[in-house]
Amino acid sequence: MNNQIIVAIDGYSSCGKSTLAKALAKKLHFIYVDSGAMYRAVALYFLRHKIDLKDHDKIAEALKNIHLNFHSRDYETHITLNGEEVSEEIRQMHVAESVSAVAAIREVRLEMVKQQQRMGQTKSIVMDGRDIGTAVFPDATVKFFMTADPKIRAERRYKELLPKNPQITLEEVFENLAHRDYQDTTRIESPLVRADDAIILDNTDLTPGEQLLFALSRVEPFL
């Protein structure tokens, strides 16, 4: 490979973006960055420190005290918040419930986007999120916009969360996804929207293997 390639994957909550992003990165030996994990870690910090989401001075101060790091073994997302491994805690429902409100805050987005752009400066990368093809890397080599039937998305996420959250219900998961999609698509700062040049990938009826083959066929011409 002689050129740097950026693959941007955006889409609704829980429609398989990270599954595809990880698989692509592994196959192509690219760096994988789960941008959602960064917003989740910031949301966790705000929860722990009881940051009022309307207090912009406190938010600015908090952002200066937040240090996020990815340490990528095995293409899973391992993220630390000020040195503490939080990869599991950020997946819990209390974080899922507040993350979209946190991600709508301008100061938070400016800081995260700056860090994300730095990660894509030198190496080939696959990044998934909501604004990767529109705001973070508007010149990405290939952009995907993923979608899937909301009921299927809720079922997939429910199965993923259930082992560690035996009390969780499918309805609760469905509501959370619907609410986050609403917040993400209607916010003022870089709302979730398909970039004009993004390839639509509806994976309602696709297996992870099938979606990988589809995505690979679109990236391979640039290798």
Please report, as ranges, the residues that interact with ligand CDP according to CB under 6 A: 13-14, 18, 35-36, 39-40, 99-100, 103, 129-132, 180, 184
For strand 125-129 and strand 6-11, is the pairing parallel, antiparallel, or unpaired? parallel
Give me the least distance between CB of 2 and ligand CDP, in Å please.
29
DSSP 170-191: HHHHHHHHHHHHHHHHH-SSS-
Read off the tokens for 188: 């003022």
Read off the tokens for 85: 């491994």
Q: Smaller CB distance to ligand CDP: residue 48 or 217?
A: 48
Q: Smaller CB distance to ligand CDP: residue 79 or 219?
A: 79
Q: Smaller CB distance to ligand CDP: residue 22 or 180?
A: 180
Q: Smaller CB distance to ligand CDP: residue 54 or 217?
A: 54
Sign of CA dihedral 76, 82, 83, 89: negative
Give me the least distance between CB of 221 and ligand CDP, in Å please.
26
Reported residue count of the chain is 223
Task: Tell how far CA 118 is from the center of its chain.
Answer: 16
Give me the least distance between CB of 109 and ligand CDP, in Å please.
7
Give me the least distance between CB of 41 and ligand CDP, in Å please.
10
Give me the least distance between CB of 130 and ligand CDP, in Å please.
4
Read off the tokens for 190: 């870089």
Per 3-state DSSP, what percentage of the chain is helix, strand, and coil (rounded to 5)? 50, 15, 35
Strand runs (DSSP E) across 134-180, as ranges?
142-147
Give me the least distance between CB of 177 and ligand CDP, in Å please.
7
Q: Smaller CB distance to ligand CDP: residue 86 or 99?
A: 99
Closest residue to ligand CDP, Cβ-based? Answer: 36
Query: What is the C-alpha to C-alpha distance for residues 140 and 142, in angstroms, rounded to an integer?
Result: 6
Tell me which DSSP letter residue 90 carries.
G
